[in-house]
Amino acid sequence: MKNLIFIILTTFATYGCYSQTEKKITMDSTKKDNPVSSPTDSTRAILTDEEYKKVLSPEVFYVARQKGTERPGTSKFENFKEIGTYYCAVCGNALFKSDTKFDSGCGWPSFYEPISKGSIIYLPDNSHGMNRTEVECGKCKSHLGHVFEDGPPPTGLRYCINGVVLDFEKAKVAEKTYNDQQAKPTDKH
């Protein structure tokens, strides 16, 4: 029962991020059997671990689905400075903007703030004799990393994220994708 409430809340949080237009499309949709599918991409949903194993690379599966940790200093995103958006590599959920990324020196890509409240889930993690807060993707519940309270202003938080579970899209590419999607439904001529 607790899980069900959690899923419902998560679903609401996810749907809350989309515009009215997209919401309308969702409501008109006849596919109501999958509460976690995205309003904009029905192919993205929560899969079983067996299914994830087939579609994800071994590195992504290990971190995202088995709560693994990539070796520090190995992510191409650790010192990456491009302007754009970081997405969940498993489901495509938008997670962080590049302007909230900072050099923490901890060995993993670090951000001080997620892109929206619903983009991330927080869970207590008492493994390895430590009291930490795990962060998971708000949409597919894949393990991303941990959040610590030693980050810079304005939040004072440090989201320490495994780069292997991140996908990056440059600002101009993201803008073009967005504009293309907006242009599709209505043909003005």
| Token pair recorded at residue 10 | 């998560």
Residue 17 falls in the annotated catalytic set: no
Single residue of 46, 94, 137, 147 touching Zn ion by CB under 5 A: 137
b/e code 70-95 from CB counts within 10 Å (16+ = b): beeeebebbeeeeebbbbbbbbbbbb
Q: Shortest gap between Cβ of 93 and Zn ion (angstroms)?
A: 4
- The answer to whether 91 is a known ligand-binding residue is yes
Determine, following the binding rule CB under 5 A, whether residue 91 of this chain makes contact with Zn ion. yes
**Chain-centre distance for alpha carbon 61:** 15
Give CA–CA dist 189/180, Å, rounded: 16
Give CA–CA dist 139/40, Å, rounded: 13
Determine, following the binding rule CB under 5 A, whether residue 90 of this chain makes contact with Zn ion. yes
Using CB under 5 A, which of the segments 71-79, 80-88, 125-133, 157-165 binds Zn ion? Answer: 80-88
Single residue of 60, 115, 120, 140 touching Zn ion by CB under 5 A: 140
Give the interface with Zn ion as residue ranges (CB under 5 A): 88, 90-91, 93, 137, 139-140, 142
